[in-house]
Structure 1
Amino acid sequence: MQVTQTSSQGLKQEFKVVLPAADLAAKLGAQLAEVQAKAQIKGFRPGKAPIGHLKKLYGKSIMGDVLQEAVNEANRKIVEDNGLRIAVEPKLEFPGGQEEVERALEAEGDFAFTVTFETLPKFEIGSFDDISLERPVAEVSDEDINAALKNLADRVQEFDAREEGAKAESGDKLTIDFTGKLDGVAFEGGTGGDVDLVLGSNAFIPGFEEQLVGAGVGEARIVKVTFPEDYSAAHLAGKDAEFDVTVKAVSAPKALEIGEDLAKKYGFENFDAMKEAVKGNLEADFHKISRDKLKRALLDALDNRYSFELPETLVEQEFNNIWGQHEAESQRAGQPIAEEGKTEEETRAEFRKIAERRVRLGLVLAEIGQGAGVKVEDKDLTEALVERARMFPGQEKQVWDFYRNNEQALAQLRAPIYEERVVDHISQLIKITDKTVTKDELFKEDEEA
C-alpha cells in the first residue's frame, strides 16, 4: 500500500492511496483458498473445486469485500499514522473511474483512490476563573400558590344547567354550534358543533366570548371578530370574520371550595399536603427557569470566548437540519420562509450563524467533557428513555424498542444529557452570584433566546 498526502488545507487533509494489484491478488487468493476448503460444488468432491472455477463463481464478490476491507485498513492507518481527529466520515473519490475499479475487481490492475479527511480543530480550553455570571432566582409566593390552586380548581370545575330562560354570564359554560365566514363564505376549520366554551376563559379569538354574554338557550347570534395579526393560520391573520353561533346549553359553575374538597378531588390526604405539593412543583419550575437562564448565559460566554475554524460539513449538516425545520414550520403556518423584514438570503445567513454557534459550542463542550471525564450513566439514559416513552401513551413498547435498536436515535437521546453534565461541571468552576428577581422578571423571555 502506497500512501501520499496530496493536500493540506485548514481542517481538510487529502491523501492518495494505491493498492498494488499483486497485493490484491494475494488477498483474493487467500480468500479463495478458504472458500475451497469449505465449498461443496456440484461435480467436484468437497474441498476439491479448482481455484480457477471458484474465481469465476465468486471472484468478483470476494474481491469486493477485499477492496472494502483494504480501503478501511488504509483509512485507519492514515488516521493513526498522522494523529488525525476525524470530524465526519472520510470522502472517497476514484480518479480512475469505473474501468479501473472493474480491473481491480478482477485483480488485474492497481486500485487507486483519494480520501479526504475533515478533522476536528485544535484549541486550548484554558481555565474558567475569569467567568462570572448572575443566576436569576425568585421565591414562590403565597400569591403564586393560590393562583396555581385556582387553576387546578378550574380544571375540575363542575357546572349545572341554568334555569329555563336564564341568560349567560361571564364564567358560565356554553355549548354552541358555530360557522365562521370570510366575506360571507365559510372557511376551512371555522366550523364546530357541540363545543363547550367557558365565557371569560379567553379560549377563543379576542372579542368572541364577550359577545355571547347575555345569550340564552336556542338563541342565534352573529359574532364579529378580527383575527390577530400573528394568528397561526396565515390566510386568516388580520382578517375580519363573522361567526354564526347557536347557543344549545347554558350552565353555571358550581361552587367549589379551594380547600379540603379540592384536595380530595386530586387524591391528597388533606389540603395542607396539596399546598405543599403545589409549592414544591412551583419551586421546581422556578429552579428550571433559573438554570436555563444561567445555562444560556454560560453558553453565550463560551461562544464569545472561543474562536476557531469549524468543520464545513458539520456546519452544513446543522444548517440543513435547522433550515429544514424552519421550512416545515413556515409551510404548516402558511407563512413565507423569509423572516419579517428580511430577504430569504438574509434569513439563511442568520440561520447559518445559529448553525455555526451550535457546532462551535458542541465542540467546546465535547472537549471540556472529555478532559473532565464526564460520562452519561446507563441509569440516566434509561430514565430519559422511560420519560420519552411516556410521551406516547399506548406505544411505550414500540418507542422503547425503537431507541434500543437504533444506535443513532439513542445517541440523540444521550447528547442533551451529556451537555447538561458538562454544564454542571463548568458551573462548579466559575463564579455564580444569585440575583433575586420577581416572578415576572424570571419568566420574561430573553429577546434573543
Structure 2
Amino acid sequence: MSLTRDEVRARLQHLGPEELALLEEQLQARLWQRRWDRWTPYPWQVPPDRIETLGWWLQLGGRGTGKTDGCARYMVTHVNGPPCDPRLPGGHRMAIIAPTQGDAAEACVNGPSGLKAHDPRVKLRQTTGGTFARWPSGAEAKLFGAHTPDDVERLRAGGNRCLVWMEEAAAMRRLADAITHSEMGLRLGSNPHYIASTTPKPRKELIELKANPKVIVTQGRTRDAIHLPAEQRAHLIAKYAGTRIEAQELDGVLLEDIEGALWSWVAIDKARVGAAPQLASVVVAMDPAATSTDDADEMGIIVAGRGAAYLPDKNGFQRQHGYVLDDLSGRMPPIEAARTAIKAYHEHRADAIVAEVNNGGEWIGTVVRQVDPTVNYRVVYASRGKATRAEPVAALTDQLSAHIVGSFPELEEQLTTWVPGDDSPDRLDAYVWALTDLMLASAGNSAAVA
C-alpha cells in the first residue's frame, strides 16, 4: 500500500527528533546500498581474494580504465569490513599517497571516481595534523604527496597504517622514498598491505614490483573500457595505433628495458623519426622460419633504406644513416612470404631482396624467382654468431644513425627484450640483416653476401 505525499507529511509531523534522525539514517543507508549495488566492475577492477601481508594489488591500466575507481571501491570495502585494530575509532587507519597531496584530495576523495563517489559519508578534513578522509565511524585515511623533500619527511613521520593506497604511482617524483617510508609504517592489524593504481611507465620501482611474487597485477586496456564514450576511444586508438603511446598509455603495458639487451627503449625513442629523407638504397630483408605451422617462428620481413646524404651522429661525426621503413613480418606460408616481400620490393623501389639462408632458407630464392623473376635477389650467410652480428647494428642506434620511421611495436619489443645467448626472433634477425647490408656489409662486419 502506497501513501500520498500529504499522508507521508502528516506521519512525519508526529515523529520526535530521535525518530526522525533514525529515519534519516535508514534512508541514507538504503540510498547508499542502492548506489553501491549498481556498480559493475571491469575484470581488472576485481581485487584478488587475498593480498599477502606487505604485498600489493597493482592495477596497471590505460587511460579511462577506472584504476582510481577500483582502488576507491576497495578502500571503502576495507573500511566496512572487520576492524584491523579494534582499539582505533572505526578500526582502520589508512594512507593515500599520490604525486601531490592535492592530487590525493582531488582524484582519490572528491573526484568522480574517488571515495565520495562510492561512499557519500566520507568527509575531507584538514587539521593541524594533516589532511584526512574520514568516515562517520572514525575510520580515516591520511593524504600524502610524494613530490618534495618535505613530502618525504611527512611520510617518514606518517604513523602506522593498515592499508596504503598508492595513486598514479608511476607519476610520483619520489616513488622509491614513498614506498620505503610507507612500508615502515605499514604495520597495523594482521594483514597490512598496499593497493596501487597507475598508468605504467618504465620505472625501476614498477619493474621490481611487477617481478615481486607478493605483487598481484591486473591490467586494463582503454579499448575495453566500455564506459568511455565510443567516439573518444576510437579517436585515441586510431591516433596512437602501433605506437609506444598506445602500448603504455592505452593498453597499460609496462615497457621494460631488459638487463643485457643490446637495444633500449630510450635509445630507440631518441633515434626515432617521423619520416625518412631521400634514400640512396633500399632493401627488403627476409629471415625465414624453418616451417610455416601455427606454432612456427615468424617470417621476418623488414624494409629499410640508407639515406642519400651524410648526417651528423650524436657525437657530431658525419656518417650515413639507416631507416626502418616497414615491418611486414608474420606467420605465413612460403608463397605468401615471397609475395609480401616482392610487393614491398616494388612499392619501395628497392634495390634487392636480401635473404638469410643458413636455417633452411634456400626455398626463398626458388619461390621468389617463381613468383617474379625480375626481382634482384641475393642471399646472405651468417659468418659470425648472432650477438656479433647484432652488436654493431645496435651501436648504430646508440649513435643515433639507425632510425625507426614511425613505430613498429612488435619489432621494437623484440629488439628491447632480446639478450645475446637467447634464440633471436625473426623480426630482429631481418632487421639486423637489413641494416648490415645497407651500412656494414661493405666493411665485412657480419655477413657474407652471395
Q: Name the TM-score, length of structure 1 as normaliser.
A: 0.21
Which structure's CA Rg is the greater one? 1
Q: Name the TM-score, length of structure 2 as normaliser.
A: 0.21
More relative contact order in 1 or in 2 (CA 8 Å, sep 6+)? 1
